[in-house]
Structure formats: structure tokens, C-alpha cells
A and B are shown apart, each in its own frame.
Chain A
Amino acid sequence: DAKTTQPTSMDCAEGRAANLPCNHSTISGNEYVYWYRQIHSQGPQYIIHGLKNNETNEMASLIITEDRKSSTLILPHATLRDTAVYYCIVRVLISGANNLFFGTGTRLTVIP
């Protein structure tokens, strides 16, 4: 699985967009980009995933560069409840064995 690099921490003002970057320069053609977050003392929560195209769901948007070497997770209107550690993970989808290897993630703090 390709290695990812994320900033250790970021702050964002409440109500503003939070843009979380992730570098995955060694990603291969069949690897997806996944984003999960972990609120303190809870299990991780799936946010979004993508392969090539930009994706949007009710939680966030995922922007993947054309060369796929980096991506950005966008929380359009951050709230205090979005304070969490955000993990960017890249891996191939293997049905029934989609275990995940977590890096250090980005600790996002949403400030009132």
C-alpha cells in the first residue's frame, strides 16, 4: 500500500471550510484514496473515498489531482463536532479483506 503524508495538525474557524491535504506520490493505478476520521476515544468513521474523479457526499468533498499524487479533503462548513484526527489511506480494494493501515493523520481543531 502506498504511503501517505499529512500535516500533523491544523486549525479551522467554525463555519469556514477545512481543507486537509494528503500526499501519496507513490500511489499505483488501482489504489483508492480513503478518508476516515476519529473523534476522541471513539472508533474511526468513514468519510469518503475516490479513485480518479472528485467525489462529494453529505459529509465532505474529495479533490484528487490529475496525476493522483495528492488529494484534499474539504469539509465545507466546519463545526465544533468536526474536531478529530483525519486519516488519509490509500490501498487496493480487496473484497472481504479490506483491512486498513493507518498513518499518523491530521489533528483538526475547529475553533469557535
Chain B
Amino acid sequence: GAVVSQHPSRVICKSGTSVKIECRSLDFQATTMFWYRQFPKQSLMLMATSNEGSKATYEQGVEKDKFLINHASLTLSTLTVTSAHPEDSSFYICSAGTGGHEQFFGPGTRLTVL
């Protein structure tokens, strides 16, 4: 099946710094990728839809200026958490599809903001 990777898998940063998370589709092209956030013991929450070559579409309540998404190519989307604060500590997961029913998820990135 199709493979989606994320980098880094785990990151610890100081409050006020920015962190970039990469999501790559390794063996397929994805015009659309999705970013989710998951807090401990909670379900996944869709943050935004990342569109190749155009602006991302953000879900209600997600600050677009804080969570910058860039989908520069058909295989790469990046999520940058700007001016991170402890409340941004979470598990960030991306996904992509090939146009069919199945969504392929990355392994996730655990962000800890001190």
C-alpha cells in the first residue's frame, strides 16, 4: 500500500520558537493532504486541508497564522507551528489519498513545548 512519512517523529522545543513538521507521500502523488491534531486520550481532530499549489483550507477554530501549511509539491506538505506554546503540545498526524476510498496516514509527530 501507499506510504506516508513524517519528520521528525518527536520534537521538543522551547516556548516561543517555531517548529516545522514534514509530511511526504513516498510512492504516490497527493494533490491533497490533511493535517490532524490529537491530544492525549482524545480523538483526532482535523485541522486543515493542504492543497498543492494553493492555500490550505482551515477548519473552524484553527488559527491559520499560527499553523502555517505549505504544499509545495505533489509529495510534500509542511506544517509549521509558529510561536509554539505549551498548549500546542500534541500529536500531529498527516494523511493523503490517491483519489480512492482509502486514506493513508503518517506515523505522527509528537510535539512537546516546554
Contact = CB atoms under 8 A, between A and B. Distances in A.
Interface in A93-112: 93, 95-105
A46 B44 contact: no
Interface residues of B, number: 25
A96 B43 CA distance: 23
A38 B108 CA distance: 11
Contacts, number: 57
With a 10 A CB-CB cut-off, give which of B45, B93, B103, B104 has the most chain A CB atoms: B103
Interface residues of A, number: 24
A46 B103 contact: yes
A98 B101 contact: yes
Contact of B101 (A93, A96, A104): A93
A100 B103 contact: yes
Given A97-B49, A100-B46, 8 more contacts: A44-B93, A44-B105, A96-B32, A99-B46, A100-B34, A101-B46, A102-B44, A104-B43
Interface of B: 4, 6, 31-32, 34, 36, 43-46, 49, 91, 93, 95, 97, 99, 101-108, 110
